[in-house]
């Protein structure tokens, strides 16, 4: 016996072609099926086979490394303004958004029995927020730069800004007819299995793990630091 693995495989292929022809597709189908049950969609057996060669993995942030279904922590509103109307207008506008956070906002509003309206003239600003009309009212919702531009933060909103400055939260500013009416604070936690997944990928030979997101860069950096990722593109 030569001990040469190539010769051993050649003999195996020549001697038992039928079992190999049957076994390989069955193995691929089993792998794709098992991945699907875990919520992972594979394009086909070629993609599954190519995984063995992967050395770089790229992840989205919201809903992938984090839970995505952010919960409402607090609502700061302008003096004389209640919380229901800003929430109703925000949720109505978010019905036109594809962001994961939009589902949470709509769910919260409906849980509070708020009657939502259909938005119109909606314009989405990638990674910043969106604006549109709800019941003839102009609504802008999203990041502070989108809503306020370079303008100052009103006194009533400053305490919340200071309170959450070093906290991993998402702040949604809402302007109604051109005036800041409310600031919604949402919290999003890293998935419990995210650290283990990153570690398992590194053990499997993945040497570079990258976070790619359209969200705020500071929040992305915090997630990256928590999971010890190699690079962030936000």
The encoded tokens of residue 212 equal: 């790619």
Give me the domain span that covers residue 148.
70-187
Q: Using pLDDT thresholds of 50, 70 and 90, give the confidence band for residue 23.
A: low
Rg (CA), the chain: 25
**DSSP string of the chain?**
----HHHHHHHHHHH-HHHHHHHHHHHHHHHHHHHHHTT---S-HHHHHHGGG--EEEE-IIIIIB---PEEEEEEE-TT--SHHHHHHHHHHHTT--SHHHHHHHHHHHHTT------EEEEEETTTEEEEEETTEEEEEE-HHHHHTTPPPPHHHHHHHHHTTTS-EEEEEEEETTEEEEEEEEE-PBPTTHHHHHHHHHHTT--EEEEE-SS-HHHHHHHHHHHT-SEEE-
The domain that holds 231 is classified in CATH as 3.40.50.1000
**128 & 25 share domain:** no
| Same domain (yes/no): 41, 23 | yes
Q: Any catalytic annotation for residue 60?
A: yes
Kindly state whether residues 133 and 229 are assigned to the same domain: no
Shared-domain flag, residues 129 and 79: yes
Q: What are residue 141's DSSP bridge partners?
A: 130, 174
- Strand duo 208-212 + 231-233: pairing: parallel
Same domain, 93 and 177: yes
Calculate the dihedral angle through the C-alpha atoms of 107, 83, 94, 136, rounding to the nearest 10 degrees.
130
Q: How many CB atoms lie within 10 A of CB 91?
A: 24
Counted domains in the chain:
3
> In terms of domains, do 83 and 138 share one?
yes
Q: Is the pTM of this model over 0.75?
A: no
Cα(223)–Cα(146) distance, integer angstroms: 23
Q: What percentage of the chain reaches a pLDDT higher than 70?
A: 96
142 and 207 housed in the same domain: no
Please check whether residues 90 and 148 belong to one and the same domain: yes
Q: What residues does 183 pair with on adjacent strands?
A: 76, 173
Reported as a single tens digit per residue, the pLDDT across 132-171 is 999 999 999 999 999 999 888 899 998 888 888 777 788 8
The per-residue pLDDT for 20 is 66
Domain end among 152, 168, 187 = 187
- Residue 94 has a CB neighbour count (10 Å cut-off) of 26
pLDDT at 18 over 70: yes
Q: What percent of the chain has pLDDT over 90?
A: 49
106 and 209 housed in the same domain: no
Do 176 and 85 lie in a common domain?
Answer: yes
Q: Per the residue annotation, which of 4, 60, 228, 230 is the catalytic one?
A: 60
**Contact indicator for 142, 125 with CB cutoff of 8 Å:** yes
Per-residue CA distances from 12 to 4, 20, 21, 182 (Å): 13, 9, 12, 70
Least confident of 5-9, 152-156, 190-194: 5-9
Determine how many CB atoms are found less than 10 A away from the CB of residue 175: 19
Q: Are residues 152 and 198 located together in one domain of the fold?
A: no
Structure confidence by residue, pLDDT tens digits, 89-142? 999 999 999 887 898 899 999 999 999 999 999 999 988 999 999 999 999 999
The reply to whether 122 and 136 lie within a common domain is yes
Task: Give me the CATH number covering residue 91.
Answer: 3.40.1110.10
């Amino acid at each position: 016996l030569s001990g040469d693995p190539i010769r051993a495989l050649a003999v195996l292929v020549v001697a038992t072609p039928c079992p190999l022809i049957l076994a390989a597709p069955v193995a691929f189908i089993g792998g794709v099926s098992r991945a699907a049950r875990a919520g992972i969609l594979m394009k086909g057996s070629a993609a599954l086979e190519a995984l063995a060669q992967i050395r770089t993995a790229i992840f989205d942030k919201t809903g992938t490394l984090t839970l995505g279904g952010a919960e409402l922590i607090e609502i700061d509103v302008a003096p004389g303004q209640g919380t229901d109307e800003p929430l109703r207008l925000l949720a109505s506008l978010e019905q036109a958004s594809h962001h994961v956070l939009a589902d949470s906002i709509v769910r919260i509003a409906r849980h509070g029995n708020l009657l939502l309206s259909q938005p119109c003239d909606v314009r989405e600003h990638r990674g910043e927020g969106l604006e549109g009309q709800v019941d003839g009212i102009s609504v802008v919702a999203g990041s502070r730069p989108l809503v306020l531009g370079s303008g100052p933060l009103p006194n009533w909103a400053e305490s919340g800004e200071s309170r959450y400055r070093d906290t991993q939260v998402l702040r949604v500013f809402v302007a109604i007819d051109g005036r800041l009416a409310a600031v919604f604070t949402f919290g999003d936690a890293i998935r419990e299995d995210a650290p283990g997944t990153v570690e398992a990928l590194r053990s499997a030979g993945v040497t570079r793990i990258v976070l790619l997101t359209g969200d705020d860069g500071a929040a992305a950096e915090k997630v990256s630091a928590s999971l010890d990722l190699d690079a962030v593109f936000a």
